């Protein structure tokens, strides 16, 4: 598991109050019963934690947790922080 995945899981567990065991790369937001407010809070935490911006139009591309991890890793690599 990458450090990005670990940090993302910590954020999601804290915000959504779900069990970390249900967070797999194929878990969807619906699987973990995250609502739109949860998603906004996760997004703000991700932006603060990783010092990246996630444009609203990019959000629709995240079908599952794995997609979000890949996106964060790509953004960090673009910044040179990976």
Q: Of the candidates 70, 7, 62, 53, which has an alpha carbon nearest to the alpha carbon of residue 31?
A: 62
* Each residue's pLDDT tens digit, 1-35: 689 999 999 999 999 999 999 999 999 999 999 99
| Mean pLDDT computed over every residue of the chain | 92
Q: Which of 19, 31, 35, 48 is catalytic?
A: 35
Annotated active-site residue 19? The verdict is no
Domains located in the chain, CATH noted: 3-79 (1.10.1200.10)
Q: What is the pTM of this model?
A: 0.89
């Amino acid at each position: 598991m990458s450090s990005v995945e670990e940090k993302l899981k910590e954020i999601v567990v804290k915000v959504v109050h779900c069990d970390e065991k249900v967070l797999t790369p194929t878990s969807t937001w619906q699987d973990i019963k995250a609502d739109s407010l949860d998603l906004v809070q996760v997004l703000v935490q991700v932006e603060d934690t990783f010092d990246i911006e996630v444009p609203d139009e990019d959000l629709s591309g995240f079908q599952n947790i794995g997609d979000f991890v890949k996106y964060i890793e790509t953004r960090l690599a673009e910044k040179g922080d990976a």
